[in-house]
Chain A
């Protein structure tokens, strides 16, 4: 994985010193809260219901064991012994004190980590495919391109006061595991005439006006990767709406301007930027790629796995993914135990994951956008040992991509914008479907819950989505069906009137009953919904 050189390290240390100085000026009254707010936001510090929340960047979701141990240390020393892995492959701490924040950033800097641009109206941490470098279906590893964009976007002088936050995702396979087209800019690395280039999408997003990003350019040569991004950002910075923060995302600009006109503006800006030395020298991409070369895989390993332990076989079938290298597999640790908080991990669990990564996965792990942790490169012969350690730690839920593998935002338990609680609903649904056989019977089913219209829980992209709304002062939940954040991207639709907390759990059960009754061979829930349509489900719910 990528390693800092002296330049990268100095940039991060400088930022720590700068932020320490800003916090001192705030405490001394030289900065008002209004003036301090954008500065703390650019360092990932939000003020929430009960305390400050700190969001730490995990570039393209990749961590080594030392970094994971540091995350555990921070949870233990500065928080309440746990952290929350997010849908943008980052980690958040919910109980931070302002005066500790500079020390936390200093601790993070010792392991090449930071909270730079994890909030605020700037270019955020860039996300990617959690199976990058391991998946059998990828064209190239997308992370070197994401790293190039990370450097370009860090402390960008022109784009630090954008109309609104700005999120990139970069993938390099046809299967989209990163909800790429629901990002402000989505990039798929593709091949044309033997050369690698970037297919650019722009103007996707969730929030209160969800949009699927349209194609902006089919092929941008790698040599222009950065200047094309610069052109898009400049058009957005100049023309994006600033009169209404709910209409300030690039998706609204692309929508109001029309994709065609938007493309025209971008192409004109791109033409103007030619010859301005915006792009990195080719040697830099080569240097970065050197850090993402395959680890020293053993050859000649067996693909046989002893399945005689039935509980192990269940986990194996559900949580293990095909690796490009014979004898190896990708193993996913579910952060969705029945009754737990989706995405939360204690410091002890983080340390266990660090140990497993170090011992079995070439010192690497990944955060997924569905809030789980991946061990990307494990020998098949080690899977049983890994599983046993997870079982001992009660950390072996075999529920990847099943109905209890829920994405849920923090909701009213933490968030000052929430209408309703998300976590208890997730817990009740997981409880209702707790028999793993029943979950497996329902197959792949992506259930996503947001506590308000801001959609942090990706409910628009759920096969089943749940949205918390406020109805005459009581918490109420709308049900949505038919969304997808994958390559078959679509936005979920609301079924009709909402439900109370217990009602929504019943409603989820009813729609799964419809699926079981209606499905044809091999159909997932989503496929059946798409074939039979909303009415059949509405009948069961309200009929």
Chain B
């Protein structure tokens, strides 16, 4: 896992993630992996006992994982959400906003480039899964 870029203070989760089907088949696993397009809402009853949800990106242009991560956060999941697969530098800022807090890209990211990409935007226009205030709140003193 030397490609792992992580934005959490707790220990990285060691247990390998099981598939969604495997998990729903009454596994006791604490880590699960969603493929593109698998329904994150199926995990909602089990969020309490999950430590890691890995979301696979088979192609960077497939944006379903962004909704999956946000839905998980909107339901209060505070474990690790990891983006794995075809994850590129120009996407990680958006991914952070949708609730991803670790990245395990197929092609390693240059840590300097990643830092630059994440620091780039001082403001955001809309609410998402992070706690950043949209510009329209800042304008009106919120």
What is the CA–CA distance of A151 and B138 in the complex, to the nearest angstrom?
Answer: 13
**A7 touching B138, Cβ below 8 Å:** yes
Residues of A with C-beta under 8 A to B134: 280
- Total count of chain B residues near the partner, CB < 8 A: 39
**B90 touching A22, Cβ below 8 Å:** yes
**A161 touching B136, Cβ below 8 Å:** no
Does B67 have its Cβ within 8 Å of any Cβ on chain A? yes
- Total count of chain A residues near the partner, CB < 8 A: 41
Q: Mark A149-160, 1 if CB is under 8 A from B, else 0.
A: 001111111111
What is the CA–CA distance of A22 and B125 in the complex, to the nearest angstrom?
Answer: 22
What is the CA–CA distance of A11 and B138 in the complex, to the nearest angstrom?
Answer: 14
Which residues of A, 3-20, contact B by the 8 Å Cβ criterion?
Answer: 5, 7-8, 10-11, 14, 17-18
Residues of B with C-beta under 8 A to A22: 90
Give the Cβ gap from B17 to chain A, nearest Cβ, in Å.
21
**A161 touching B88, Cβ below 8 Å:** no
Residues of B with C-beta under 8 A to A237: 63-64, 66-67
| A residues with CB within 8 A of B | 5, 7-8, 10-11, 14, 17-18, 21-22, 35, 38-39, 121, 151-163, 226, 234, 237-238, 242, 272, 276-278, 280-281, 283-284, 287
Residues of A with C-beta under 8 A to B128: 157-158
Residues of B with C-beta under 8 A to A17: 120
**B63 touching A159, Cβ below 8 Å:** yes
- A-B contacts, 25 listed (Cβ < 8 Å): A7-B138, A10-B122, A14-B122, A35-B88, A39-B90, A151-B135, A152-B125, A155-B125, A156-B125, A156-B126, A157-B98, A157-B128, A158-B67, A159-B63, A237-B63, A237-B66, A238-B37, A238-B64, A278-B126, A278-B127, A281-B136, A281-B142, A283-B139, A283-B140, A284-B136
What is the CA–CA distance of A278 and B125 in the complex, to the nearest angstrom?
Answer: 11
Query: A156-B126, A277-B127 given as contacts; is B139 within 8 A of A287 (CB)?
Result: yes
Closest to A283 in B: B140
- Ranked 5 nearest A-B pairs via Cβ: A161-B63, A157-B97, A157-B94, A284-B136, A280-B136
Residues of B with C-beta under 8 A to A155: 94, 121, 124-125
What is the CA–CA distance of A242 and B64 in the complex, to the nearest angstrom?
Answer: 10
What is the CA–CA distance of A21 and B121 in the complex, to the nearest angstrom?
Answer: 14
| B residues with CB within 8 A of A | 36-37, 39, 60-64, 66-68, 70, 74, 88, 90-91, 93-95, 97-98, 116, 120-128, 134-140, 142
A to B contact number (C-beta, < 8 Å): 104
Residues of A with C-beta under 8 A to B64: 237-238, 242
Closest to A276 in B: B74
Residues of B with C-beta under 8 A to A159: 63, 66
Residues of B with C-beta under 8 A to A158: 63, 66-67, 70, 94, 97-98, 128
Give the Cβ gap from B112 to chain A, nearest Cβ, in Å.
12
What is the CA–CA distance of A284 and B139 in the complex, to the nearest angstrom?
Answer: 8
Residue among B67, B137, B138 facing the most chain A CB atoms (10 A cut-off): B67
What is the CA–CA distance of A18 and B66 in the complex, to the nearest angstrom?
Answer: 21
Give the Cβ gap from A440 to chain B, nearest Cβ, in Å.
47
What is the CA–CA distance of A151 and B39 in the complex, to the nearest angstrom?
Answer: 29
Residues of A with C-beta under 8 A to B62: 161, 242
Contact of A161 among B60, B125, B140, B142 (CB under 8 A): B60
**A7 touching B135, Cβ below 8 Å:** yes
Residues of A with C-beta under 8 A to B116: 21
What is the CA–CA distance of A284 and B61 in the complex, to the nearest angstrom?
Answer: 33
**B139 touching A5, Cβ below 8 Å:** yes
Residue among B36, B61, B121, B137 facing the most chain A CB atoms (10 A cut-off): B61
Closest to A163 in B: B63
Residues of A with C-beta under 8 A to B125: 11, 151-152, 154-156
User: A38-B60, A39-B90, A161-B62 known; 10 other A-B pairs, CB under 8 Å?
Assistant: A5-B139, A7-B138, A10-B123, A151-B126, A155-B125, A161-B60, A161-B66, A242-B37, A284-B139, A287-B139
Closest to B138 in A: A7
Give the Cβ gap from B108 to chain A, nearest Cβ, in Å.
13
Residues of A with C-beta under 8 A to B94: 155, 157-158, 160
Give the Cβ gap from B140 to chain A, nearest Cβ, in Å.
5
**B120 touching A14, Cβ below 8 Å:** yes
Residues of B with C-beta under 8 A to A18: 120
**B140 touching A284, Cβ below 8 Å:** yes
Query: A35-B88, A159-B63, A160-B63 given as contacts; is B140 within 8 A of A11 (CB)?
Result: no
Give the Cβ gap from A244 to chain B, nearest Cβ, in Å.
14
Residues of B with C-beta under 8 A to A278: 126-127
Residues of A with C-beta under 8 A to B39: 238
Give the Cβ gap from A23 to chain B, nearest Cβ, in Å.
12
Give the Cβ gap from B92 to chain A, nearest Cβ, in Å.
11
**B60 touching A281, Cβ below 8 Å:** no
What is the CA–CA distance of A121 and B97 in the complex, to the nearest angstrom?
Answer: 19
Query: A158-B128, A281-B142, A283-B140 given as contacts; is B67 within 8 A of A238 (CB)?
Result: yes
Residue among A14, A21, A154, A161 facing the most chain B CB atoms (10 A cut-off): A161
Closest to B122 in A: A10
What is the CA–CA distance of A447 and B124 in the complex, to the nearest angstrom?
Answer: 42
What is the CA–CA distance of A5 and B67 in the complex, to the nearest angstrom?
Answer: 30
Give the Cβ gap from A246 to chain B, nearest Cβ, in Å.
16
What is the CA–CA distance of A160 and B63 in the complex, to the nearest angstrom?
Answer: 7
Residue among A155, A156, A157, A278 facing the most chain B CB atoms (10 A cut-off): A157
Query: A14-B121, A14-B122, A281-B142 given as contacts; is B67 within 8 A of A161 (CB)?
Result: no
Residues of A with C-beta under 8 A to B63: 121, 158-163, 237
Closest to B36 in A: A242
Give the Cβ gap from A376 to chain B, nearest Cβ, in Å.
27
What is the CA–CA distance of A5 and B97 in the complex, to the nearest angstrom?
Answer: 23
Query: A157-B97, A158-B67, A160-B63 given as contacts; is B139 within 8 A of A7 (CB)?
Result: yes
Residues of A with C-beta under 8 A to B93: 157
Residues of A with C-beta under 8 A to B91: 161
